[in-house]
Chain A
Amino acid sequence: MNDTTRVIGTRDLTKVYQSGSLRVEALRGLTFSIERGEYVAIMGPSGSGKSTLMNVLGCLDRATSGQYLLDGIDVSQLDDNQLAEIRLRKLGFVFQGFNLLPRANALRNVTLPLFYAGMPPKQREKLALERLTEVGIGDRARHKPTELSGGEQQRVAIARALVNDPAVLLADEPTGNLDSKTSAEIMALFERLSAAGRTIIVVTHDEGVASRARRILRMLDGVIIKDTLSNIPVTSG
């Protein structure tokens, strides 16, 4: 394992929520790494800390202690604006509830990260349309989210997540709101993206979804209890 192929590396990552006298240790010293191009599923029951880990890995939240290197950058100590910059440049999010802007059409949703990155409008639209075509809904670019099916909305979300060419694609229960047929299509899309070299992390409690990944991190009570690679157990940390 070396730094040029490692896209995520954590050491003793902890997250403690303190609310008055109540102290919840959501993450308890996680040390793991993810290589460039890996397709990883993070699994665990509710309360296992997988959502917290997702938030920390997604730079939406800061770890209480420990180190987190993302694409060679130590993001543990960055401030809010710097984290926003990291989210913009290095990360792409896909959510369970799609989280598209309802008033904006598919194209404008996809251009949003490029807008924040300061790209000129023409270039934004061109790139966004490419991404939409890539995920198979280039012809639906002018439709608003309400005019799109769940599967199409999730494709728009994936296109938006990829448009800034992120180091990591983070998906939080990406098929949670979809029927089984559409779920299969989305999972197929993820596999295709993985095959094309994308680094993908999927947080899920769905064994079917997790089984499509090449590596599964199983969490319980804030620690990784099992790290399996193509169904072959490997030592974690």
Chain B
Amino acid sequence: MIAYLIEAANVLFANRMRSILTIIGLVVGVATIVAVQVAAAGMSGAVSGIFKGTNASTFIVFPKTTQSNVVRAALKIDDLALIRDRVPGVVSVIPFSRRQIIVDAGHQRVRLRFGGESDKRFSTSPVAAGRTLSAADIATADSACVISDNAFTRLFPNETSAANVLGQSLYVGSKRYVIVGVLGKAKVDTAALGFDVSNDVAIPYTTFYNTYQRGSSFFGVSVLASPDVNLQMTERRTEAVLAQAHGAQYQAFDFGFFAKTISGFFSVVGLIVGAVGAISLIVAGIGIMNIMLVSVTERTREIGIRKAIGARRGQVLAQFFVESLVLSAVGCLIGMFLGVGLGFFVDRGFIARISGVYGAIPWFEAIVIAVGFATLVTLGFGTYPAYRAARLDPIEALRYE
């Protein structure tokens, strides 16, 4: 067997240009399939990471607005108490408040995410310095604020210790807020996923309401449920309570929904890429078969010599079969490494950057795919040329010029 491998490697190396061209299709096919596997593994790691890193008991409720119910469905300040009172397991309800806003601190002027927060925290970022908003802050609609690590580094680029900025002021327009706390790095940057629970500058939601939302309706409400209750049931209850009060339809969204949407998108992408990869593998297989048939024809005389010397059918079959095997194995191996590299690049470059979760490379799957395809392609497309070679009549083959 080793002798056959060496022989095959010699032959393929002697025709290296042809060998390389032959396996390109295989390389591309395996690379795409493996890359999708790696990226998908990264994605599923990211999705589960989102659940780990954020408050999974949070959801947002939006009205299903139609032309006729805009006014009726609009969420108002009374709805906060309504939900809190009527839906069991709700810890806190605040208006959905999020804006990009220019914030000034000293000489720095930066654009940051700005919004209301409750004393029952929606954010899960750890506290780096100071404190979070207190019930008193909420009750008095105080001008206190808690800033994120992002806000800290951008507003105070020369400051090394978060504790030093406590008590300092920042301005949103003419309104002044006093920093009472600085948060550490969030485990997951949910903003990049389109579901933003963390604000760069969080003020009491009551203050936010009084200053920016008074009299107007809310885009939606954010609900923090107790971790002990079933989130889906709480969502349905909330929808029902609001529907009853307003005579309109509401829809709750949680992380699971977003995660599902994203992973659903990825599995569709995976299917499409997988199908393309599979087609390219078939094409590549036919390419290998073609080259092997050419090789058998070209080497008819060689086969004749080998048979005259005493090679049995099985030995000739093995020789050409091993050549196909080496071709597909090399192609699949290169494809595997390329695919892992590509998938790794996609994962680290995009998925992990968004999710903050570094997915493990699924080497096992990658190897299974590569070995599986090498075997399939060899069996499917290497057998016939090898059979043709083995079946040659030695006398005819020796006469071949």
Contact B11 A116, beta carbon cutoff 8 Å: no
Tell me which residues across on chain A come within 8 A of B382, comparing CB atoms: none
Q: Is there contact, CB below 8 Å, between A85 and B312? A: yes
Distance in angstroms between the alpha carbons of A191 and B10 in the assembled complex: 37
B149 to chain A, nearest CB (A): 66
Partner of A87, one of B3, B309, B314: B309
Which residues of B have CB within 8 Å of A113? 309-310
Pairwise interchain contact A117-B395, C-beta atoms closer than 8 A: no
**Cβ < 8 Å to B, chain A residues 67-104:** 80-81, 84-89, 91, 93, 95, 99-103
Whether A84 and B313, one on each chain, are in contact in the complex, defined by CB atoms closer than 8 angstroms, is yes
Q: Give Cα A187–Cα B65 distance, bound, in whole angstroms.
A: 104
Interface contact B313-A80, CB-CB below 8 Å:
yes
Tell whether A116 pairs with B315 under 8 Å between CB atoms, given A55-B395, A121-B3: yes
Complex CA–CA separation, A11 to B220 (angstroms): 105
Task: Give Cα A100–Cα B304 distance, bound, in whole angstroms.
Answer: 11
Complex CA–CA separation, A24 to B308 (angstroms): 24
Determine whether the beta carbon of B307 is less than 8 Å from that of A84.
yes
Contact of B310 among A55, A99, A116 (CB under 8 A): A116
CB of A58 closer than 8 Å to a CB of B = yes
Residue numbers in B under 8 Å from A116 (CB-CB): 306, 309-312, 315
Q: Which A residue's beta carbon lies closest to that of B302?
A: A101
Kindly report which residue of chain B lies nearest to residue A166, judged by CB atoms: B310
In the bound complex, CA of A80 to CA of B301 (Å): 18
Query: Please, which residue of chain B has its CB at the minimum distance from the CB of A93?
Result: B308
Q: Mark A53-64, 1 if CB is under 8 A from B, else 0.
A: 001001011000
Given contacts A99-B305, A101-B305, A103-B11, contact A89 B310 (CB under 8 A): yes
Q: Is the CB of A103 within 8 A of B14?
A: yes
CB of B398 within 8 A of chain A?
Answer: yes
In the complex, whether B394 has a CB less than 8 A from a CB of chain A is yes
**Chain B 269-280 interface mask (CB, 8 Å, partner A; 1/0):** 000000000000
Contacts of A87 in B (CB 8 A): 307-310
CB distance from A194 to the nearest CB of B (A): 22
Total number of A residues with any Cβ neighbor in B under 8 Å: 28
Q: Which residues of B contact A164 (CB under 8 A)?
A: 310
Chain B residues with Cβ below 8 Å from A160 are 309
Evaluate contact between A93 and B309: CB separation under 8 angstroms: yes
Report A-chain residues with C-beta under 8 Å of the C-beta of B313: 80-81, 84
Chain A proximity of B42: nearest CB distance (Å): 46
CB within 8 Å of A: which B283-332 residues: 301-302, 304-315
Interchain CA distance A103-B319 in the complex, whole Å: 15
Q: How far is the CB of A92 from chain B (nearest CB, A)?
A: 9
- Asked if A60 and B395 make an inter-chain contact with CB atoms under 8 angstroms apart, the answer reads yes
Residues of A111-129 whose CB lies within 8 A of B: 112-113, 115-117, 121
Contact indicator A88/B309 (Cβ below 8 Å): yes
Which residues from chain B contact A103 at a C-beta distance below 8 Å?
10-11, 14
Q: How far is A118 from B14 in the complex, measured between Cα atoms in Å?
A: 25
Q: Are A99 and B301 in touch, CB under 8 angstroms?
A: yes
Contacts of A89 in B (CB 8 A): 310
> A85 CA to B309 CA in the complex, in Å?
9
Q: Is the CB of B310 within 8 A of A115?
A: no
What chain A residues lie within 8 Å of B398 (beta carbons)? 60, 95, 99
Q: Quick one: closest B residue to A117, CB to CB?
A: B310
Question: Complex: how many Å from CA A117 to CA B74?
Answer: 89
Residues of A within 8 A of B305 (CB): 99-101
Q: A60-B394, A60-B395, A99-B398 are in contact. Are A81 and B312 (CB under 8 A)?
A: yes
A99–B308 CB distance below 8 A: yes
- Are the C-beta atoms of A84 and B310 separated by less than 8 Å? yes
B313–chain A nearest beta-carbon distance, Å: 6
A58-B312 in contact given A95-B398, A103-B10 (Cβ < 8 Å): no
A112 partner residues in chain B, CB cutoff 8 A: 306, 309
Report the minimum CB–CB distance from A59 to chain B (whole Å): 9
Quote the shortest CB–CB distance from B318 to chain A (angstroms): 11
CA distance A112 to B316 in the complex (A): 12
Q: How far is the CA of A137 from the CA of B301 in the complex (A)?
A: 25
Q: Tell me the bound Cα distance from A121 to B305 in angstroms.
A: 20
Asked if A88 and B310 make an inter-chain contact with CB atoms under 8 angstroms apart, the answer reads yes
Q: Contacts A103-B10, A115-B3; is A60 near B308 (CB within 8 Å)?
A: yes
Cα distance, A46 to B398, chains bound together (Å): 18
Q: Which residues of A contact B312 (CB under 8 A)?
A: 81, 84-85, 116
| Interface pairs A-B: 10 shortest CB-CB | A88-B310, A87-B310, A84-B312, A99-B305, A81-B312, A60-B394, A113-B309, A116-B311, A60-B395, A116-B310
- For this complex, 30 residue pairs linking A to B, each with C-beta atoms less than 8 Å apart, are A58-B308, A60-B307, A60-B308, A60-B394, A60-B398, A61-B395, A80-B313, A84-B307, A84-B310, A84-B311, A85-B312, A87-B307, A87-B309, A88-B310, A89-B310, A93-B308, A93-B309, A99-B301, A99-B305, A99-B308, A99-B398, A102-B302, A103-B11, A112-B306, A113-B310, A116-B306, A116-B309, A116-B315, A117-B310, A160-B309
- Chain A contact residues, CB within 8 Å of chain B: 55, 58, 60-61, 80-81, 84-89, 91, 93, 95, 99-103, 112-113, 115-117, 121, 160, 164
Apart from the given pairs A87-B310, A99-B301, 7 other A-B contacts in the complex at a CB distance below 8 Å:
A60-B308, A60-B398, A87-B308, A99-B308, A100-B305, A113-B310, A164-B310
